[in-house]
Structure 1
Amino acid sequence: MKNIIITLIAAATAAHAEPASTLGKIGDIEIKTDEIREALAGLEAGQDAALAKDPAALGQYVRALLIQRLVLKEALAKKWDQEPEVVAKLVRARESALTESFLESAAKVPADFPTPSDLQAAYDAAKPSLLVPKSFRLAQIYIAQPADADKAAADKAKAKADAVAKKVKEKNADFAAIAAAESEEAASKTKGGEIGWLAEAQIQPEIRERLPKLAAGTTSEPVKLADGWHILKVLETKDAHTPSLELVKDQLAVQLRAERGRLNRQEFLAKLLKENPLAINEIELAKVLGPAKP
Structure 2
Amino acid sequence: MKLLHTSLIFACGLVCAADDTDPVIGSIGGVELREREVLESLGGLGTMDKEALASEPAALNKLVCSMLVQRVIYQEALEKKWDVEPAIQPLLKSTREAAITDSYLKSLCRPPEGYPSESELRTAYTASREALTVPRSYRLAQVFIAAPEEGAEKTAKARLEAILKRLKAAEADFGQVAREMSEEKESAARDGEIGWLSEKQIQPEILAALPKLRLNVVSEPVRLKDGWHILKVLDAREPFTPIFDQVRVQLSQRLRAEKIRADMQAYVAETLQKHPVAINEVALSKLLQEIPPRDSVIKP
- C-alpha distance in structure 2 between counterparts of 1:86 and 1:155, whole Å: 56
- Unmatched segments (≥5 aa) in structure 1: 1-20, 26-30, 75-79
CA contact (8 A) 1:45 1:254 kept: no
- Aligned partner of 1:259 in structure 2 is 258
CA contact (8 A) 1:140 1:194 kept: yes
CA contact (8 A) 1:22 1:32 kept: yes
CA contact (8 A) 2:182 2:192 kept: no
- Aligned partner of 1:5 in structure 2 is none
State the Cα deviation string for residues 165-208 of structure 1 (Å, max 9, x = none).
Answer: 431xx2x4322223334x34242444323233333344454543
CA contact (8 A) 1:139 1:235 kept: yes
* TM-fit CA distance, 1:125: 3.1
Superposition pairs for residues 99-118 of structure 1, below 5 Å?
Answer: 99-100=101-102, 102-118=104-120
Quick one: structure 1 residues 51 and 238, their matched pair in 2 at CA, closer, same or farther if it must change by over 3 Å?
A: closer
1:185 matches 2:183: yes
1:119 matches 2:117: no
- Unmatched segments (≥5 aa) in structure 2: 1-20, 26-32, 291-300
- C-alpha distance in structure 2 between counterparts of 1:90 and 1:150, whole Å: 55
- C-alpha distance in structure 1 between counterparts of 2:34 and 2:149, whole Å: 65
Counterpart pick for 2:50 among 39, 48, 51: 48
Larger Rg: 1
Bigger shift: 32-41 or 127-136? 32-41
- TM-score (ref. length: structure 1): 0.61
* TM-fit CA distance, 1:114: 0.9
- C-alpha distance in structure 1 between counterparts of 2:146 and 2:71, whole Å: 54
- Aligned partner of 1:209 in structure 2 is 208
1:274 matches 2:276: no
* TM-fit CA distance, 1:282: 4.4
* TM-fit CA distance, 1:112: 0.8
Q: Which secondary structure state, in structure 1, belongs to the residue aligned with residue 236 of structure 2?
A: strand
CA contact (8 A) 2:141 2:191 kept: yes
- C-alpha distance in structure 2 between counterparts of 1:186 and 1:290, whole Å: 52
Quick one: structure 1 residues 96 and 145, their matched pair in 2 at CA, closer, same or farther if it must change by over 3 Å?
A: closer
State the Cα deviation string for residues 59-113 of structure 1 (Å, max 9, x = none).
Answer: 6688799989x99xx9xxxxx99xxx99999998887666555433432311111
- C-alpha distance in structure 1 between counterparts of 2:89 and 2:231, whole Å: 67
- C-alpha distance in structure 1 between counterparts of 2:135 and 2:124, whole Å: 20
Q: Which secondary structure state, in structure 2, belongs to the residue aligned with residue 111 of structure 1?
A: coil
Superposition pairs for residues 130-279 of structure 1, below 5 Å?
Answer: 130-142=132-144, 146=148, 156=158, 159-160=161-162, 163-167=165-169, 170=170, 172-181=171-180, 183-187=181-185, 188-220=187-219, 222-223=220-221, 225=223, 230-279=229-278
Q: Which secondary structure state, in structure 1, belongs to the residue aligned with residue 234 of structure 2?
A: strand
- C-alpha distance in structure 2 between counterparts of 1:157 and 1:239, whole Å: 35
- C-alpha distance in structure 2 between counterparts of 1:145 and 1:86, whole Å: 47
Q: Percent identity?
A: 36
- C-alpha distance in structure 1 between counterparts of 2:105 and 2:129, whole Å: 33
- C-alpha distance in structure 2 between counterparts of 1:125 and 1:285, whole Å: 46
1:129 matches 2:131: yes
Q: Which secondary structure state, in structure 1, belongs to the residue aligned with residue 128 of structure 2?
A: helix
Q: Which secondary structure state, in structure 2, belongs to the residue aligned with residue 209 of structure 1?
A: helix
CA contact (8 A) 1:51 1:58 kept: no
- C-alpha distance in structure 2 between counterparts of 1:208 and 1:285, whole Å: 54
CA contact (8 A) 2:139 2:196 kept: yes
Quick one: structure 1 residues 287 and 147, their matched pair in 2 at CA, closer, same or farther if it must change by over 3 Å?
A: closer
State the Cα deviation string for residues 238-269 of structure 1 (Å, max 9, x = none).
Answer: 22222333222212212221221121122223
